[in-house]
Structure 1
Amino acid sequence: MTACAQNVKGERSTYQGFALYSDIQYGPDKAHSFDVYTRSDFSNAPVIFMVHGGAWKMGDKKSDSVVKNKVKRWVSSGFVFISANYRLVPHANPVEQAQDLREALVSAQNQVYQWGGNPDKFVLMGHSAGAHLVGLVSGSVSDVTSIGGKPWLGAILLDSAALDVPLVMDSDHYRFHDQAFGRDRDFWYQASPYHQLRSDARPILVTCSSKRKGACDQANKFVSKANSMGIKASVLSRNYSHKGMNTELGADNSYTQDVEGFMSGLDSHVNRVVVGSEKLSADSETQTGPVRKLIQRIKERRAQREE
């Protein structure tokens, strides 16, 4: 498919009352596409760029577990939300998938003005295999700027247990790890976020399920290395299942609030959006219940700090 034949604008519809631009192509393969969830009143809004999981061989950008709670909460409060697809195993290996996502990110940054977003205010996010891929992408700013992209504000890795790929492959592991990473040890290092992390990385939050074997150990190891390199990074553990670490994010709970706390610290504009200063309309009564509750909680916390 040539660039001029690609669907760069997307098909417009609605989702949860928000504008949805579907299947915006960023490359020649059918899988090279992303969806944009936004509002008509947005201008220079911050952007969440989300990558689905699925053992590197399945999954989709439109899955409820990927978008439902996140769109409801964050588009309501003032974020553009972008959900990206990429080629899957066996059509692309994880290193190639990460490159797909770098190109998707650059394409989204170049076009986001038309959806009311700000290309300088991106937050990267991914779950499971998507968290591993976001770990590869976010591990080096120069790998994105070298192909025309902009630095992002930070990255959130949701419950990946494959941040150190050689460690995974040298231990008991699932068959899908063999399908994704093969037997080439050199490739394991190329595909390992822990080993590909560079000092120019932006702040990173790594969440992990305390119910999942190895997830928090790898999260802590990754964050320890990042901190030793001067990268601001932290771990957030929760007693959710692996699936819950994705689906519960965006619901009205302390997990969502702690992730939002990380986002708030990235940028003053993002902080204003998180606390709900950009509302659905001038009438505060149009805010959703969770947003009103979040605003009240943050106001109470600020008041306590000032006492």
Structure 2
Amino acid sequence: MQGTVQTGGRAGGRIRALLLAAVVGVLLSACGGNHPRGEVAGPPGVEVLRDLAYGSDPAQRLDVHRPADAQHAPILVMVHGGGWRRGDKANPGVVKNKVAHYVPAGYLVVSINYRLSPEVDPLAQAHDVAAALSFVQSEASAWGGDPSRIVLMGHSAGAHLVSLVTADPGYREGAGAAPWLGTIALDSAAYDVPQIMNGPHPALYDDAFGQDEVLQREASPTLVLSGTPEPVLLVCGSNRAEACPQADAFGAAVRAHGSTATVLPIDMSHGDIDSQVGVAGPLTSAVDDFLTSLGLPT
């Protein structure tokens, strides 16, 4: 019958294959899947140095997003989330809007990977973050960055890790890193891990921290806090019951140790608290205000 496409035999198989390839291509494009690990092209004028090694493990890599004419630029070092066992430095939700907002404002945005659970525990991951920080400080000038003007930022598990490195100066000292200007933690609820483990909690905490009470305590920023930490901005989803109380307690501990802490409850989803940094709105305004308080441009 005219107007009907016959799909039997070899010709039909080729047609089905072409149709399937087209559908898969559309889906991949919608998800950013046409780029390795979800990488997306940066805005005009942004140069990207990819997969720079800060350690010997293949996971110890970072990307640098920089203005083409960068000179003495402030630096945001971003640590992705993913329940301590997944995630990637190049995912669009981690970098896209941050790069679009901060690189044109004159920043370098550095996004890091780190070893994941179950290969290593969160303490080793915090050592990776500190090692990446030390590497960024040593190489910043070559990228047009200013090693004395660095801010750590992390989301979810990454927010826990940057908070742990901030709370315990042993991580910085062990990596040979210098102090930085401040820390932005985007929606961690893991500031006091034993408190989490002693109540109802998602299984991802069991996967990361297990039953080792010593590990749980050593991985708790509120419990290991010592010295005078860098100033912190603690963003917490007001729709997550455990997030803001944990952030409040850590913020109080930071202030008790002679530093400044701002806790920002915000009615946004856990994922949006990461991906919407850089998009005009109260979240980005709060991050920009914190950066301004550190003497940085926005």
Query: Which interval holds the TM-score relative to the shorter structure?
Result: 0.7 to 0.9
- Letter aligned with residue 15 of structure 1: G
- Letter aligned with residue 104 of structure 2: S
- Letter aligned with residue 168 of structure 1: I
**Deviations 1:162-214 (Å, cap 9, x if unpaired)?**
11111111111111111100101111011111112122211011000111121
- Letter aligned with residue 96 of structure 2: K
Q: Give 1:244 shift.
A: 1.1
1:150 corresponds to 2:172: no
Q: Which residue of 1 aligns with 2:251?
A: 223
Q: Distance in 1 between matches of 2:213 and 2:58?
A: 30
Does the CA-based 8 Å contact 2:228-2:258 persist in structure 1?
no
Aligned-CA RMSD value: 1.3
Q: Which residue of 2 aligns with 1:305?
A: none
Change (3 A) 1:115 1:14: farther
**Matching residue within 225, 231, 235 for 1:203:** 231
Gaps of at least 5 residues in structure 1 are 1-12, 275-307
Q: Which residue of 1 aligns with 2:292?
A: 264
Q: Map 1:1-307 to 2 at 5 A.
A: 15-17=42-44, 18-141=46-169, 143-267=171-295, 270=296, 273-274=297-298
- Letter aligned with residue 16 of structure 1: P
Q: Distance in 2 between matches of 1:70 and 1:161?
A: 22
Q: Which residue of 1 aligns with 2:26?
A: none
Q: Which residue of 2 aligns with 1:4?
A: none
**Deviations 1:247-301 (Å, cap 9, x if unpaired)?**
111101121011110111112xx1xx21xxxxxxxxxxxxxxxxxxxxxxxxxxx
Does the CA-based 8 Å contact 2:160-2:191 persist in structure 1?
yes
Query: What TM-score results when the alignment is normalised by the length of structure 2?
Result: 0.84
Does the CA-based 8 Å contact 2:238-2:266 persist in structure 1?
yes
- Letter aligned with residue 175 of structure 1: A
Q: Which is further off, 90-99 or 225-234? A: 225-234
- Letter aligned with residue 24 of structure 1: L
Q: Distance in 2 between matches of 1:147 and 1:133?
A: 15
Query: What TM-score results when the alignment is normalised by the length of structure 1?
Result: 0.82
Q: Give 1:144 shift.
A: 1.1
**Deviations 1:90-132 (Å, cap 9, x if unpaired)?**
1110000000111011011100111110111000000000000
- Secondary structure of 1:15's counterpart equals coil
- What is the percentage of aligned positions where both structures have the same residue? 40
Q: Distance in 2 between matches of 1:26 and 1:225?
A: 31
**Deviations 1:208-248 (Å, cap 9, x if unpaired)?**
01111210111111111111121211101111011111111
Q: Distance in 2 between matches of 1:23 and 1:63?
A: 14
Q: Distance in 2 between matches of 1:190 and 1:255?
A: 30
Does the CA-based 8 Å contact 2:81-2:157 persist in structure 1?
yes
Q: Give 1:23 shift.
A: 0.3
Q: Give 1:146 shift.
A: 4.5
Give 4+ residue runs of structure 1 displaced > 6 Å after superposition.
Answer: none
Q: Distance in 1 between matches of 2:193 and 2:72?
A: 37
Q: Distance in 1 between matches of 2:62 and 2:180?
A: 18
**Structure number, greater radius of gyration:** 2
